[in-house]
Structure 1
């Protein structure tokens, strides 16, 4: 079985390579806080907690007229030229005594090699033929933070995987968002990790850098999953690199069912205090100059330096050191008496 899944994963990588090499790199946590400059600009203590990675110019407002690549002095991502910001909700374990704790994260392994993260997530830019890189000021949102209906989510784009190995390097399953992957967060003692995948739309209307709902200016193509997105609809004819977030939530210390809630509530929830259907990801473009376009045009791959595009890479020690103080200060680590919503969170 393991050999079969490795072959499937290798075929996925080969299919992507046939379309054009993909970037795949680590981004460590810049900060974990309740801000969301895309959906709730200017607000501190937003409705739920986010983990943010990328350039350190991230702030509560993120004025679209400002260029993160010019304002950031460091980035928590592998590529020096990438000052973009990427963020997602946080996963919590809910103990039967009512307290909550943030689930730790690890870098991803797999056939393409291990990525080293201090929390955070892994980012992919997957081309499919000739693609147009995002423009300065571009931003978008995938998923809905209020959704509770799994049938409203395309499992081929947003999913969770039960990872039965205690090591992220021991590959489990086939390509992302396929097979037994689910929209709902797995709740099975056999799961030692949960791999979350969020795939963004790869088609753009060619005009708007954003839209009121942060989604209407982009669209998913004909493809499903992490294959580059497929052909684009006439309403959104410009092909973008397909962005994918991959997160490894390590639930090994919480796989003992005796500590799970007995009142029917879920043991694992995202920071909206909701399950998998509410998974979402936010993106604000911030690559320097035309470096991303050059990376796509020159077949830059994985997390390696690419002289043709002027891409340089940082060591984990350097990108891990790029952090930022909370702009909405509150306790987010250790056992909490309640989910961080409403007033500032309190220790249990």
Structure 2
């Protein structure tokens, strides 16, 4: 967004702080262009082959643009998308200033480029919208240092907005250029595809240990007994580095993430599930939020459920039911499953991320559940909803059953993301965003 209205020779309404770095001036930009032309001519004269490169034109260039404020009439929002690196938009001297561009139609957005003037944002959010009124945050940036910044995205929308939540200087924020790259038009849904935003991983039981590398990192034996699925190496000392060098039990084999739950006991004998499916879903939020769901970052840790529940109403996220037994109502505590069925555990993980932290002190605060079909402002980045479905080969009197953490309503689950980034990104792009049901291979 090169938004600076007039040339640098135009005086500002207030003096520039002496400590601010001086960025490229229009004169320097013109000089750079002239130098490039001279070098190209010299190459031709000397017989050097110069390979031409097609211009990558932003789909935002020249499009209608609005902003929350202007420093003054010399620096309007339109100068951030005019393709001229010597003009700029500049806001009033306040935080939470924004600039947004209307692409004219729904678009698949793969990156944006922000070219900040000396007055830049140290923290900001990139948001998209189908309507220009309801926004989805697709990137949160903190600790920015200004200059030219390129952000790769996988987003869909007609409107793109940069919300500068914290300014780095006493002035407002100012952009030489705000460029959006991608392709106009909606994503293509494969013929015959089932319109459910889903991909999955089947991850059989791996091993059992009294360890929890999220809640008790570096303390083997400090936890109640857990049953682990997926990554074969998970223990009390596990971290991203150790997990990503190990194998696992999952289909697809690309998923070497670690999943674990408190061990189930029947008559004080441990029982492991024979069905272990982890669904990655887009449900529970509006379609425009699904279209802009972002991949889990590598190393993200999430805990769902309440291991310290004192009653069924303390843990409304976890539920128990019976496979093929419609007459048994689901419950937050164990249920009595008739012979010929199986005891099932369902657990939904939160799907709204704060965009910054891979974990938090309580292992939950960096994540949140959606509200009203969207992610709350405190946790603006939508990620897939992880649904854990475990099927245990037990039936009958539930008084025989207990978890290592206590009664059935203490059920909880832990997730440590070790998906290869490219595999996770492909599945979110091809399955979640276009609302397509995919299998374990990540294909419809």
TM-score range, shorter chain: 0.5 to 0.7
The answer (yes or no) to whether the contact 1:187–1:267 under 8 Å persists in 2 is: no
Residue 241 (structure 1) aligned with residue 384 (structure 2): yes
Residues 203 and 238 in structure 1, CA contact (< 8 A), matched pair in contact too? yes
Task: Find 2:393's aligned residue among 217, 232, 250.
Answer: 250
Kindly indicate whether structure 1 or structure 2 has the higher relative contact order, using CA contacts under 8 Å at least 6 residues apart. 1
- 2:236 corresponds to: 60
Matches within 5 A, 1:175-194: 180-187=329-336, 192-194=341-343
Q: Secondary structure at the match of 2:250?
A: coil
1:1-348 maps to which residues of 2 (within 5 A)? 17-20=194-197, 22-64=198-240, 66=241, 68-69=243-244, 71-72=245-246, 74-94=247-267, 100-107=268-275, 121-127=276-282, 128-154=290-316, 157-163=317-323, 171-173=324-326, 180-187=329-336, 192-222=341-371, 230-252=373-395, 255=396, 266-272=399-405, 274-299=406-431, 301-306=437-442
Shift of 1:37: 0.6
C-alpha deviation, 1:297, in angstroms? 0.5
Higher mean alpha-carbon deviation, 25-34 vs 195-204, is at 25-34
Distance 1:152 1:304, change over 3 A: closer
For the aligned residues, what is the CA RMSD? 2.6
2:417, 2:221 → 1: CA distance? 24
2:443 and 2:313 map into 1 onto residues whose CA distance is 45
Check 1:191–1:183 CA distance in 2 against 1; reply closer, same or farther (3 A cut): farther
How far off is 1:24 after superposition?
2.5
Deviation sequence 1:164-213 (CA, Å, 0-9, x none): xxxxxxx4449xxxx92100111466684210001100001111111011
Shift of 1:130: 2.4
2:135 matched residue in structure 1: none
Q: Using the alignment, how far apart are the partners of 1:41 and 1:104 within structure 2?
A: 24
The whole-number CA distance in structure 2 between the counterparts of 1:287 and 1:235 is: 26
Displacement after TM superposition at 1:145 (Å): 1.4
Name the CA distance, whole Å, in 1 between partners of 2:375 and 2:333.
Answer: 28
Flag the 1:195–1:146 CA change in 2: closer, same or farther, 3 A.
Answer: same
TM-score normalized by the length of structure 2 = 0.50
- Is the Cα–Cα contact under 8 Å of residues 320 and 331 in structure 2 kept in the other structure? yes
Gaps of 5+ in 1: 1-15, 95-99, 108-120, 164-170, 224-229, 261-265, 309-348
Alignment coverage as a number of residue pairs: 241
* Higher Cα radius of gyration: 2
Please say which of residues 74-83 and 196-205 is displaced more in the overlay: 74-83
Q: Deviations over 1:289-319 (max 9, x none)?
A: 32111111112744343479xxxxxxxxxxx
Q: Where in structure 2 are there 5+ consecutive unaligned residues?
A: 1-192, 283-289
Distance 1:152 1:307, change over 3 A: closer
